[in-house]
Every structure is written in C-alpha cells, then in structure tokens.
Amino acid sequence: MTVTDERGREYDERPWGSFTVLDDEMFDHKVKRIVVAPGKRLSYQQHAQRAEHWFFVNGDATVVLDGVEYEMHPGDSIDVALGQKHRCENRGTTPVVFIEVQHGTYFGEDDIVRLEDDFGRAE
C-alpha cells in the first residue's frame, strides 16, 4: 500500500523491498529510490511507455536485461530500454539501493507487465 513518508514523498513497501518517489513533478520523467532486500528480486518485467536508467549506490546487484546477467556495484549504472525485459536481484546480505530515473510518456504502476514473479503477481 502506498503511503506518504515523513517528508511527504510517496513510499511503498513491496515483497522484495521498497521504493520512495523522489521526483514526479514533470510530465516527462519520474525519479525513485529503490531498495531490494537481501535474497530478494524484482519481477522479470517490461514497460510499454517508459525506459529507465538505474544508478547503484549501495550493495551488489545482479541485473538481467533480455536474459543476460550483469553484475552491478556502487557507482555503476545501466539503461533499460523501452520494452526491454529486466529485473534486479540482490544475492548478497546487505540491501541493494539504486536510483531509478524513468523517462517516457507514462509512469503509472499499471505499465508493468510481469513475465516472472516470485510473489505470484505475473500476468
């Protein structure tokens, strides 16, 4: 359930961790801080109306783009193209934190097509 944090920002806890919306005032982009708990991963998903840029600030992550794995560390970044299948996984023991910059024409959570999901949310 989405709530507002002490700074008035949108915050949501998910089965894999949480996200905080840092900026969503403009029509062409949205910025989130995403935390992936140890041993968890986001669904393998794609979006029809947005691309994403991920900048990693904490922890070591495994990112899957169209079936190819990339190891990410603090200071690394990766681009997720419009329609590209993707996932972020935390195989470590400390939280993975990354900043996600979404750009496109629509940023609603209903623009997520889940292809695989550990929590029974796949399409």
* Dihedral (CA of 31, 32, 33, 37) sign: negative
- Boundaries of every domain in the chain: 2-116
- Over residues 19-78, the pLDDT tens digits come to 999 999 888 999 999 999 999 999 999 999 999 999 999 999 999 999 999 999 999 999
* Strands (DSSP E) found in the chain: 2-4, 10-14, 17-23, 29-36, 44-46, 50-58, 61-65, 68-72, 77-80, 86-89, 96-104, 113-116
Q: What is the CATH number of domain 2-116?
A: 2.60.120.10
Greatest Cα pair distance, the chain, in angstroms, is 38
pTM: 0.91
Tokens of 120: 């029974």
